[in-house]
Amino acid sequence: MFDILPICLSILLPCVFLFYCRSMHRGGRSRPLPPGPRGWPVVGNLPLLGTKPHRTLQALSEIYGPLFRLRFGSVDVVVAASADVASQFLRAQDANFSDRPPNSGAEHVAYNYQDLVFAPYGPRWRHLRKLCSVHLFSAKALGDLRWVREGEIGLLVRALVCGRNPVNVGQAVNVCATNALARAMLGRRVFEEEGAASGEFKEMVVELMRLAGEFNVGDFVPWLRWLDLQGVVERMKRLHRKYDEMLDGIIEEHRRAKAAGGKGGGGGGKGRDLLSVLIELTEKPDDEGGKLTDTNIKALLLNLFTAGTDTSSSTVEWALAELIRHPAVLRRAQAELDAAVGKARLVQEADLPDLPLLQAVVKETFRLHPSTPLSLPRVASEACEVGGFTVPKGATLLVNVWAITHDPSSWGPQAAEFQPDRFLPGGAHEGVDLRGNDFELIPFGAGRRICAGMSLGIRMVQLMTATLVHAFDWRLPEGQTPDKLDMEEAYGLTLQRAAPLTALPVPRLLAEAYDIELCCT
């Protein structure tokens, strides 16, 4: 019996040696996994996240480095917390991280992955993105609908002129952004004025963003999913029913208008709107052989309404809050606007290239208050090496955009300060752009999954911010002072203000600029 042992060893040892040599030939020993904290049994590191995960993860990066690993239940999670590491994932490894991991939001809210944001990367995703790019976000489409955006912002200004009380800035701007997008998508406004319906819609959008940003235990511990311990899935289903009813009504109304002889107005009579194009594609395949369903349409409209309205309005709200807190910068911005535009009319999109300080204010707002503080997750299709570490197949990638935009190694010791001059000629970050090429500032993401509506989002934020700064002086309610203005964050998929900005708009232009008889004293 013992005589067999030498024979077995004589066979096994050469095999082990051959395996070792082949491993060395393929590049030596495998790289280690990224470092990270130890987790709890079953739930892993989920209890670490707290109410502001972007800040928690930023603190962890100071301990474990700009690339570290967590475990959420049974899921490996890698976090990129520097511009260099983000570029390795979103540029060098972009193809490997082009898909989204499974999540309850995509299943229960976004029509079971039938949308653009969470759809698997492939022909249907490319088709939906192409439709949006051609009919909403191309240079031609943006130019054709410039009059819509300027018109809606003009309506917002006139409504503010006639008011005599402090306004909820975020809600007022959200109505404007929603109507401007709706006219491009649906050919009509969805809110005639700020009121109960518009307030309810904004609450729906904020709730969706809050739920989408919540780390649902059931997504990471499958055997606990049925318990819905946090009540997240039930809230998602309830919110989905509200959206579904609203979107069904919009589509049915559009079909009735078309049957009655309407053509779908592209914002009110200039070309076709996006929904008209989509409805046609439910009736016949397009040139690529794809055929849309009503569910596809509703999922896409849901993406556009949520991602294209609240992100813009919350950024404008943050920008105005920062300017109120920094009156010297506000006065400089108003002087720039007065010189470029004058006081007899409102800002137009054609004026924006002549407003470098205003553009710098917007960039600095996106930097300090990125609309998506943690990128939408991606998943590794295959194992890969990044930064000297192995990222296992199936790992979820989170890019901590907030940590990157507050990184002193990129932005200097005053990274937490509002300093738009950093982007002006001669500034330390002159030439840094928002469009996904400069990884120290990627509020819209980067790579093939970059936000499809980035160009529209930038235009809307710039135009709304410029108009509100140019048309009004802003006074805080009695008892509040700029230096004490609450700048606390409320975490969700988008970075909301915990306390909505309330301020009194005081007209500062000539009466003719507002196109109505001035009714404010």
The upper half-sphere exposure of residue 184, i.e. CA atoms within 13 Å in the direction of its Cβ, equals 32
- Strand 75-80 and strand 396-399: pairing? parallel
* pLDDT above 60 (res 266): no
Q: What is the dihedral of CA 309, 216, 385, 63, to 10 degrees?
A: 100
* pLDDT above 60 (res 10): no
The upper half-sphere exposure of residue 307, i.e. CA atoms within 13 Å in the direction of its Cβ, equals 23
Give me 30's structure tokens.
């495998």
> Among all chains, which residue has been given the structure tokens 């470098």?
356
Amino acid at site 499: A
* pLDDT above 80 (res 252): yes
What is the Cα–Cα distance from 392 to 385, expressed in whole angstroms? 9
Given this model, what pLDDT does residue 280 score? 84
* pLDDT above 80 (res 521): no
> Among all chains, which residue has been given the structure tokens 């944001």?
117
- Average pLDDT value for residue range 389-399: 97
What is the Cα–Cα distance from 204 to 196, expressed in whole angstroms? 12
Q: What is the mean pLDDT of the chain?
A: 87
Given this model, what pLDDT does residue 265 score? 46
Identify whether the C-beta of residue 158 lies closer than 8 Å to the C-beta of residue 468: no
> Among all chains, which residue has been given the structure tokens 């917390």?
81
What is the Cα–Cα distance from 486 to 479, expressed in whole angstroms? 13
The DSSP string of 332-345 is HHHHHHHHHH-SSS
User: What confidence category does residue 307 fall into, taking pLDDT thresholds of 50, 70 and 90?
Assistant: confident
* pLDDT above 90 (res 451): yes
Identify whether the C-beta of residue 490 lies closer than 8 Å to the C-beta of residue 177: no
Given this model, what pLDDT does residue 198 score? 64
Residue 50 CB neighbour total at 10 angstroms: 11
- Average pLDDT value for residue range 236-255: 91
| More reliable by pLDDT, 29 or 4 | 29
| Biggest alpha carbon–alpha carbon distance for the chain | 108
- Average pLDDT value for residue range 447-467: 95
- Average pLDDT value for residue range 57-83: 97
Look at phi and psi of residue 241 and say left if phi exceeds 0, alpha if psi is from -120 to 50, else beta.
alpha
* pLDDT above 90 (res 289): no
* pLDDT above 70 (res 18): no
| More reliable by pLDDT, 258 or 418 | 418
Q: Hey, what domains does the chain have and what are their CATH numbers?
A: 31-514 (1.10.630.10)
The tens digit of pLDDT for each residue in 314-357 reads 999 999 999 999 999 999 999 999 999 999 999 999 999 999 99
The tens digit of pLDDT for each residue in 94-130 reads 999 999 999 998 999 999 999 999 999 999 899 899 9
* pLDDT above 60 (res 23): no
Q: Which residues contact 138 (CB under 8 A, 6 or more apart)?
A: none
Given this model, what pLDDT does residue 276 score? 87
